[in-house]
Amino acid sequence: MIASLVVVLPFAGAVLGLLLSRYPHGRSPAEDLVANKRAAWFGVVPTALSTALIGWLAWEDTPSTSVLTKIDTGGIAITVGLEVAELSVLTAMLVGVVALAVQVYSVGYMRGESRYPSFSAFISLFTSAMLLVVFAADLLVLYVGWEIMGLCSYLLVGHWWEERANSRAAIKAFLVTRLGDVGFLFGIFVLGFAAGSFRIADIMAADIPDSTLVLATLLLLAGVAGKSAQVPLHTWLPDAMAGPTPISALIHAATMVAAGIFVVARLYVLFPQPTLDVLGVAAAIGMLGAALAAFAQNDLKRVLAYSTISQLAYMAAALAGGARDAAVFHLVTHGAFKALLFLCAGAVIHHVGSNLLGHMGGLRRSTPVTFWTMTIGYAALIGLPPASGFFSKDAILYGLERSSSPIQLLLYGSALLTVGVTGAYATRAWLMTFFGTGKIQALPEPAPGTAHVFDGREAPLSMLWPMGVLAVPALLLGFTDAGEFHLAPAVTALVVALLGAAFVYVIWRGAPERDPARLLGAFRDPCEQVFYVDRLYAAVFVRPVLALARGVVRADDHVVDGAVRSTGRATVGLSGLVRHLQNGNAQLYVTGVLAGVLLIAVGAVVLG
């Protein structure tokens, strides 16, 4: 019953927010203000209640399964029910805390936005869908929440749809994740028909042949790659930065990107080694490649976006290497510090009026709260003690070091290199944002939803409070699992991370006005263009499909429509000939009759 309320409360908030916080077009600014305040209540209160109930479930710590109803399909029944387990509650707590922080933060960030009510409602719907994925006891019920998240991501990423780039980013996110979801759905079907049930508990207990498991899990992996931005379906995530920054925090920390890792962790016993090896190769490429891409970006949000891809690949590598618990641990810590980093980035952008690192600098004095909270987030991302990322990365490296996977060396080597590059790109972003000389006077027009603030004030309190709250778990969450601390891998990772950070600091210190990414030299452009993957996809898929579409249009215009037009022209021409027989001339009619009689007579004589 409590789990049902956890899912339903944000959904109710979304419905009420859409129905009761809207005015007809042409409303006054005063009505906008009333609508936004009402929408804020519908967004914040249900999410807060849902988060409190998740805390209650964590306190009880009693696994349970509730079946609401069974849907008879004529074949395998669909069980509409929820399952409360340790992994589900842990992930749900992450979702609830981050979603609540985002809702509160959005009150200040979206102040004055006339479409804030729909924005807040879709966040609530997004939260409800993710919670349904987390607690679902049946794979088809899980799939419902999975698809609703995809819809919400499209609506929220394209919130400022007036800009063509934003609408294109929303469509790209929708299509790429849908591509993966086709495989995910067929994977569910294969598992369900092999086990005779779609209930997760029944599938886990069923005796399914290894070949069937390989096929099913590879299909599931397609959906996981789409949602959790794994290679090769990762390209939508950086473009999703076109959405408002609170949405970036929600998507990148606690909802969509976490869903894929969560599903693999929940169904982990079903994944055979061949599937884990495929996941591991994709993770090894993704974690290092995305980290290098993050180092070359000039857009602060895109730095964090590629950082997310890299850290998700870190979790996938842990899963591939057999370190499931370490992957879940990093999923939680990453959710806390990445949400914090995105919210801090939003405060910086709100203050400066630009996403570009080249327009920032020297902000530590004018935004001290943002500076310190974002410093905590970067420390956790790099893996500096005592921040949470230090402990979760230690757990992953320890697991990979002792993994029995056939690709253990690839996973461990890529993970260790990524630690160094992570220290480099995080330090670069930190230095270029908060140190050096500010460049505010040369800014272009503000980014959508932001405003220039040059009087030294911080962001509104509604934005600062969530940042302060998230800074606590980002800093201290690692101590919840400190008993599993492993000294050797932790020291190794710390030394590698500090080497990367120190290298960037030395380069920056020599010329603070220049971007440290210049040390990449000729390799910078490939990193900045993310190794031309989008160009490759455009050449291999997009342009051929567009050419085919143009061919279809031409065929439709010249063949199908041409046939219709030719038929019309022939009919008009024939009607012109027939018209001469009906011209109203009586003499012509009599002549025609006589000619016909004469022909009949001649025919009768000849044939007779």
pLDDT at 301: 93
- Of 357-371, 422-436, 468-482, 576-590, the poorest mean pLDDT is in 576-590
The pTM score is: 0.88
Q: Which amino acid is at 449?
A: G
- The model's pLDDT over 497-542, given as tens digits with 9 standing for 90+, comes to 999 999 999 999 888 778 888 888 888 899 888 888 888 888 988 8
Indicate the angle between helix axes 2-20 and 29-60, nearest 10 degrees: 180
- Short-list 208, 153, 193, CA closest to 175: 153
- The model's pLDDT over 54-63, given as tens digits with 9 standing for 90+, comes to 999 999 888 8
Average per-residue pLDDT for the chain:
88
For residues 259 and 237, give the distance between their C-alpha atoms in angstroms, rounded to a whole number: 14
pLDDT at 444: 45
Q: Return the higher-pLDDT residue of 563 and 437.
A: 563
pLDDT at 456: 52
For residues 420 and 288, give the distance between their C-alpha atoms in angstroms, rounded to a whole number: 10
C-alpha of 460 from chain center:
27
Residue range 99-125: average pLDDT? Answer: 89
Q: What percent of the chain has pLDDT over 90?
A: 56
Query: Would you say how long the chain is, in residues?
Result: 608
For the ranges 202-206, 507-511, 518-522, 580-584, the maximum mean pLDDT occurs at: 202-206
Residue range 26-30: average pLDDT? Answer: 62
Q: What percent of the chain has pLDDT over 70?
A: 93
Residue range 66-81: average pLDDT? Answer: 84
Residue range 579-597: average pLDDT? Answer: 74
Q: Confidence class of residue 492 from pLDDT cuts 50, 70 and 90?
A: very high
pLDDT at 22: 64
- Among all chains, which residue has been given the structure tokens 């051929």? 544
For residues 503 and 224, give the distance between their C-alpha atoms in angstroms, rounded to a whole number: 35
Residue range 98-123: average pLDDT? Answer: 89
- The model's pLDDT over 302-337, given as tens digits with 9 standing for 90+, comes to 999 999 999 999 999 999 999 999 999 999 999 999
pLDDT at 596: 81
Q: Is the pLDDT of residue 602 over 90?
A: no
Q: Between the CA of residue 498 and those of 385, 486, 511, what are the distances in Å?
A: 11, 18, 20
Q: Is the pLDDT of residue 12 over 80?
A: yes
Q: Confidence class of residue 406 from pLDDT cuts 50, 70 and 90?
A: very high
For residues 445 and 459, give the distance between their C-alpha atoms in angstroms, rounded to a whole number: 19
Q: Return the higher-pLDDT residue of 91 and 109.
A: 91
Residue range 400-409: average pLDDT? Answer: 94
Cβ neighbours of residue 223 under 8 Å, at least 6 residues apart? 146, 180, 181, 183, 184, 185, 187, 260, 263
For residues 84 and 513, give the distance between their C-alpha atoms in angstroms, rounded to a whole number: 53
78 phi and psi, to 5 degrees?
A: -105, 120
Q: How many helices, marked H, and strands, marked E, lie in the chain?
A: 24, 2
**Computed over its alpha carbons, how large is the radius of gyration of the chain?**
31
Continuous segment of H or E residues that includes residue 71: strand 64-71
DSSP reduced 3-state for 406: coil
Residue range 112-120: average pLDDT? Answer: 85
- The model's pLDDT over 299-308, given as tens digits with 9 standing for 90+, comes to 999 999 999 9
Q: Confidence class of residue 593 from pLDDT cuts 50, 70 and 90?
A: confident
Residue range 181-200: average pLDDT? Answer: 95
How many of the other CB atoms lie within 10 Å of CB of 439?
A: 18
Q: Is the pLDDT of residue 400 over 90?
A: yes
80 phi and psi, to 5 degrees?
A: -90, 100
Residue range 468-487: average pLDDT? Answer: 84
Catalogue the long-range contacts made by 128-132 (C-beta closer than 8 Å, 24 or more residues apart): 128/7, 128/8, 128/9, 128/10, 128/11, 128/14, 129/255, 130/95, 130/99, 130/254, 130/255, 130/256, 130/258, 130/259, 131/6, 131/7, 131/10, 131/50, 131/92, 131/95, 131/96, 132/7
Cα torsion angle, 439, 441, 443, 446, sign: positive
Q: Confidence class of residue 240 from pLDDT cuts 50, 70 and 90?
A: confident
- The model's pLDDT over 409-465, given as tens digits with 9 standing for 90+, comes to 999 999 999 999 999 999 999 999 999 876 544 444 444 544 444 345 688 888 999
Q: Return the higher-pLDDT residue of 309 and 569.
A: 309
Peptide bond into 232 cis (omega under 30): yes
